[in-house]
Chain A
């Protein structure tokens, strides 16, 4: 990778960080819970992109594994938080026949 391409990658990483900071404003000041969840999900996607670009900048390809792990963990965290705030519990089955007798939902 030539030095000019390195500077281009550095500018891209800085723009991704700016985008993450703007998304953090929506995360802090979101009116509803779902705005915050959307901001968390988008923040995680941008974190994956930043990790991929950053491990190209420093020249060590190990960070892509961490980015892959972060993508999967981000998805699982979003689904888990949604399920918790929908059912107020995490040990709820996903079968459709349970939908008539779920409890605790206001």
Chain B
């Protein structure tokens, strides 16, 4: 919160000099704070889910979804703080590759575990049978 006040003080100081307010500084500071906090929340929630959930498939659900969204939000927060175009393009490239590879790897792990015959923990829902090449 004090970061917003510091940015507003900077903006007021700049307004005395140049008669306009540094809107981009305020917007980038607030965007960085909100996006980084949301990304850290998602990353920590995914980690606690991987530690605490009882089954492999539920752990996969926690890690696969929250890691993708949390990584994109943290990289968006860093894009707000980048100061030249080259840095923005590099961070966008990292975000693009994480957006492609993270769900693909999660799907590959889930498919391999299902093909290897790993049973989910039983509840009211029964998973379908492993067909044709169960050992």
Chain A residues at the B interface, C-beta cutoff of 8 Å? 1-2, 4-5, 8-9, 12, 15-16, 18-19, 22-23, 25-26, 31-32, 34-35, 37-39, 41-42, 45-46, 48-49, 52-53, 56, 61, 64-65, 67-68, 71-72, 74-75, 78-79, 82, 85-86, 105-106
Contacts and interface: CB of A to CB of B under 8 A. Distances in A.
B113 interface: yes
Interface stretch (B11-19, B94-102, B122-130): B94-102
A79 B44 contact: no
Given A8-B36, A19-B43, A46-B43, A82 B6 contact: no
Q: Is chain B's interface secondary structure helix, strand, loop, or mixed overall?
A: helix
Interface string B46-84: 111011000010011001000100110011001001000
A106 to B, nearest CB: 6
A19 B6 CA distance: 29
B74 A85 contact: no
Interface residues of B, number: 50
Contact of A38 (B50, B70, B71, B75): B50
